[in-house]
Amino acid sequence: MEKKMNLSAQNNKPISQDFIATVVLASKLLTSEWGMTQEKDPACNPMRMSEMKQVIQTILAQTSHDGVIVFPGGWFHSGEEPAEALDSWLITEISEILRNNPHTIVVAFGVDGLFDRPKDEDPYDKDQIALAINKDGIVAKGRKFFPGNDEGPIIHYTRNYLDTESGKPRIFELNGVKYYLLECNDIKAPYTERAIYPNPGVDIALNLIHRVYEKGGSRNLTQENNFPCIFGARSSAVWQVPVFMTAIFFRPSLPEDWPTGVYCIEERPHRTGYGEISIPHTTLKRIELREGYAIVHMFENVARISQEKEPPLPSSPVREVVYKKPVMEKKMERKKSAPNQASLSSRQEFQDLVNLFLEKYLPSGMVVKLNLKGQFRITYPQWHVVEGSPKKYIFYEFDDWISRNRDEFSAEIQFGMPYFEKNAEIVFKEIENRENFAPDARTEFDRISTRGWYRLKIIYPSSMKPDLICQMMVELINNTKDLVEESLNKTGN
């Protein structure tokens, strides 16, 4: 489920908790004022370093704790030399500005290099590197591992998303929170190739985006909302982590509402809106720079952001969530006449089922955890080990499967894994031995799930009377609640 949150507020009060600061740049380098045909010019490095220091100083003047400052990809360029050629200079310059600060500050940014064509032809950069530096030097370094189709045959990318680069790991840790460096297009990997790129045990992902060009021009890469609304949102849901992103907008002005911190609990097949995915933040006063200006978003209390991966239990029975019709449903509607095609106009039936359950069947002591158009989740408050941690609770759920072209509903019990793996095994073993547990329905035990849940699914045709489905959910609860409680006592969870 995507969290619906308020957007930023102007605030210059001191930040007194661990923080993440995202820096987004509005650059004039490609305007007639500067006369450049493309921005990949090592001659800009001194200016970019001066701008970086100016931004860092502005942030540090308003903070009194440890933090991570995130700049875009390609902030510096080594030209025809390898990106590594700049390392010594970068360490010296950045460490110097951090050395006198009493707190631990990590600065993440991108360095490109190794032109593959003459400079005036807007070349690819064979080296595309993400760096993280603190006062002692480089703490993390990662090469792009998921290139676009057009650049794959040209650039030097790593085949392993956990490879070290120049002997440095890709992951760094600050005060118990683990950060992963994503170099621009890498953000697509977690959801497009999820079996190959599972979450490597990190709490937060940092996506260093290279550029977004002016709309209406001759260049590609002008779509500003793809990164937060599709790439960031889906990868956030698959890895179950917040994603913080930065970019250089080669435009005279920045889109004020462009979210640099996104978090989604549940993956959806359609584009989400900014308000549904944006993490609350404050916005510092606009920083005027030589090539344009920067906007800095400040995210406080990083430990909480990294741990509260689901909103708290609602105080009211039903959480109101704005629902946008999935693109998949739109495509299917155009094919209603196809043989055996389920009617999408009847999906109100699912909400009718949920409303009936709430009004007539909801057992005493249960709370509503989630209420969406195609998904409804309930649980017992005591089944949460860590409040807000999505894989550390057990719940029951109704699901509508029409988005997958199945005219079915399901009633399920789900155990977050690996925390509740043993509990699921205890409950499932007992349930499997019971006869007539789910008459007139199909039962499936899903013990291996890339989504991180052990499930028992009881699947019904949507034509079944809602009362019967509700009654079977009550039966599922009655048949498993005591077993769950007993298993929790056995495992000590």
pLDDT tens digits for 282-318?
Answer: 899 999 999 999 999 999 877 666 555 444 333 333 3
Which residues have a Cβ under 8 Å from the Cβ of 100 and sit 6 or more positions away?
Answer: none
Over residues 188-200, the mean pLDDT reads: 91
Distance (Å, whole) CA 362 – CA 355: 10
**What is the pLDDT, as a whole number, of residue 322?**
29
Same domain, 175 and 67: yes
Question: Is 289 inside any structural domain?
Answer: yes
Tokens of 135: 């006062």
Q: Are 126 and 151 in contact (CB under 8 A)?
A: no
Phi, psi of 482 (to 5 degrees): -65, -35
Same domain, 276 and 332: no
Give me the number of domains the chain comprises.
Answer: 2
**What is the pLDDT, as a whole number, of residue 442?**
84
**What is the pLDDT, as a whole number, of residue 303?**
63
Which residues have a Cβ under 8 Å from the Cβ of 309 and sit 6 or more positions away?
Answer: 240, 241, 242, 263, 265, 388, 389, 390
Distance (Å, whole) CA 67 – CA 174: 8
Q: Are 195 and 451 in contact (CB under 8 A)?
A: no
Q: Three-state DSSP class for 298?
A: strand
**What is the pLDDT, as a whole number, of residue 340?**
33
Q: Are 456 and 431 in contact (CB under 8 A)?
A: yes
Question: Is 356 inside any structural domain?
Answer: yes
Distance (Å, whole) CA 185 – CA 414: 33
Question: Is 72 inside any structural domain?
Answer: yes
Same domain, 105 and 251: yes
Question: Is 316 inside any structural domain?
Answer: no
**What is the pLDDT, as a whole number, of residue 59?**
96
**What is the pLDDT, as a whole number, of residue 481?**
92
Q: Please report where in the chains the tokens 């005219």 appear, as a residue.
A: 407
Question: Is 315 inside any structural domain?
Answer: no
Q: Are 199 and 169 in contact (CB under 8 A)?
A: no
DSSP state for residue 361 in the 8-state scheme: I
Q: What percent of the chain has pLDDT over 90?
A: 42
Q: How many CB atoms lie within 10 A of CB 96?
A: 11
Same domain, 274 and 333: no
The last residue of a domain, from among 307, 338, 353: 307
Mean pLDDT, all residues of the chain: 81
Question: Is 317 inside any structural domain?
Answer: no
- 6-10, 152-156, 228-232, 465-469, range with the lowest pLDDT: 6-10
- 187-201, 258-272, 388-402, 442-456, range with the lowest pLDDT: 442-456
**What is the pLDDT, as a whole number, of residue 346?**
45
Same domain, 337 and 485: yes
CATH of the domain at 125: 3.60.110.10
Q: Are 466 and 353 in contact (CB under 8 A)?
A: yes
Q: Are 394 and 413 in contact (CB under 8 A)?
A: yes
Question: Is 160 inside any structural domain?
Answer: yes
Q: Please report where in the chains the tokens 């950045």 appear, as a residue.
A: 94
Same domain, 178 and 206: yes
- Beta-carbon-side half-sphere exposure of residue 103 (alpha carbons within 13 Å): 21
Same domain, 353 and 438: yes
Same domain, 238 and 372: no
**What is the pLDDT, as a whole number, of residue 64?**
86
Same domain, 69 and 116: yes
- Beta-carbon-side half-sphere exposure of residue 260 (alpha carbons within 13 Å): 30
Distance (Å, whole) CA 441 – CA 460: 5
Same domain, 348 and 479: yes
The last residue of a domain, from among 307, 339, 372: 307
Question: Is 459 inside any structural domain?
Answer: yes
The last residue of a domain, from among 273, 307, 341: 307
Confidence band of 220 (pLDDT split at 50, 70, 90): low
Determine the Cα angle at 42 with ends 146 and 151, to 5°.
25
Over residues 442-467, the mean pLDDT reads: 81
Confidence band of 157 (pLDDT split at 50, 70, 90): very high
Q: Three-state DSSP class for 414?
A: strand
**What is the pLDDT, as a whole number, of residue 197?**
92
Task: Answer with the residue of higher pLDDT: 192 or 336.
Answer: 192
Domain span at residue 167 reads: 9-307
Tokens of 302: 């990083």
**What is the pLDDT, as a whole number, of residue 318?**
33
Same domain, 353 and 415: yes
Distance (Å, whole) CA 222 – CA 215: 5
Tens-place pLDDT, residues 102-149: 999 999 999 999 987 655 566 678 999 999 999 999 999 999 999 887
pTM over 0.75, yes/no: no
Q: What percent of the chain has pLDDT over 70?
A: 81
**What is the pLDDT, as a whole number, of residue 17?**
74
Tens-place pLDDT, residues 363-416: 988 888 887 778 889 998 888 777 656 778 899 999 998 877 788 999 999 998
Alpha helix ranges (H) inside 158-219: 189-192
Same domain, 129 and 169: yes
Highest mean pLDDT among 57-66, 151-160, 329-338: 57-66
Which residues have a Cβ under 8 Å from the Cβ of 395 and sit 6 or more positions away?
Answer: 369, 377, 378, 379, 383, 413, 414
Question: Which residue from 353, 341, 324, 355 is spatially nearest to 462, judged by alpha carbons?
Answer: 353
Q: Are 232 and 273 in contact (CB under 8 A)?
A: no
CATH of the domain at 478: 3.30.1460.10
- 60-74, 156-170, 287-301, 431-445, range with the lowest pLDDT: 431-445
